Amino acid sequence: MARRGKPKGRPISGWVILDKPKGLGSTDAVSKLKWLYFAQKAGHAGTLDPLASGMLPIAFGDATKTVPYVMDGQKVYRFTVRWGAETATDDTEGPVLRASDLRPQQTDIEQAMNAYRGEISQVPPQYSAIKIDGERAYDLARGGESVEIAARGVTIHRLDIVSMPDAETTVFEAECGKGTYVRALARDMGRDLGCFGHVIDLRRLSVGAFDEADMVTLEELEAAADEGRETLDEEAVTAGARARVVDFTPLDDYLLDASEALGELYEVSLSDEQSARVLSGNPVLLRGRDAPAFCDEAFATGLGRLIAIGSIEQGSFHPRRVFGGR
């Protein structure tokens, strides 16, 4: 029987909130950061199209256990719609399907927007990651198939006009819940206005508990990696050797604790003794008059980091998921 080898990489835990550039896919971004950090495990919270830019939260190690809490959080997008054409992909990648010479006035757009606030029914784009009989919709669409995608309920908490640079374009900002497609918003508003429309620029500004202040660019991370690389002598350079990152401190300075993803949950602060008990899977009694007697979901911190996610029952914290830390 083959023996399992030791996992490659560093067993780090935490979040890096990448300001993803246009042209880079979400999976490629995760692979790039996993390589930079020499991390054992990495994943992301919410795919961002290659043509889009902005926030792509990337989790390492134990922080991947908090990914669902980020994905379920609200998201803020700023996007630009070009009026006059509807495309197959609802963005600039696809061919034009329908066109119009009509251009909407701001008052017309503002009136149409009223139908897209609150809980609405939305049909995802044909070119989307929705699974149809086990296959991604965009794979079927690229293969020439026209697929039936069922409408789904989504929530738009806020939809505002940011600016109207010219008669052809309108810049919007939307705060929305899980599963919302901004491209579908542009498509549907264009149909309602009778002029058609598609997204020409899309940027994600926030996801869940993370906001713009948390973002770091790929250039900043690469510079931090270079700062921690070993210095090669002339002989090694001549031989074609590649400098390795030997000091990860500059990179690790950009890591956010896994607990940063849990901003909407109740936090329990534990002593060192309580932390040790919880890390062993045992419940602990909470003291203090402000401690709740019951809470469906809470997280515990101690020893300077996230310890566990669990519930509070009859004044005791019961861990359901324990975090080993870096």
Catalytic residue ranges: 49
Cβ–Cβ contacts within 10 Å for residue 265, how many? 17
Report residue 295 CA to chain centroid gap.
27
Answer whether 199's CB lies under 8 Å from 174's CB: no
Helix, coil or strand: residue 126: coil
Cα separation, 22 vs 30, whole angstroms: 15
With residue 106 as reference, give the H or E element that holds it: helix 106-113
Please give the angle made by the CA atoms of 144, 150 and 156, to the nearest 5 degrees.
Answer: 115
Q: Identify the CA nearest to 198 among candidates 132, 275, 269, 127.
A: 127
Cα separation, 168 vs 102, whole angstroms: 10
Cα separation, 60 vs 71, whole angstroms: 15
Residue whose pair of structure tokens reads 């008052």 in the numeric block: 107
Helix, coil or strand: residue 69: helix
Tokens at residue 14, please? 């935490």
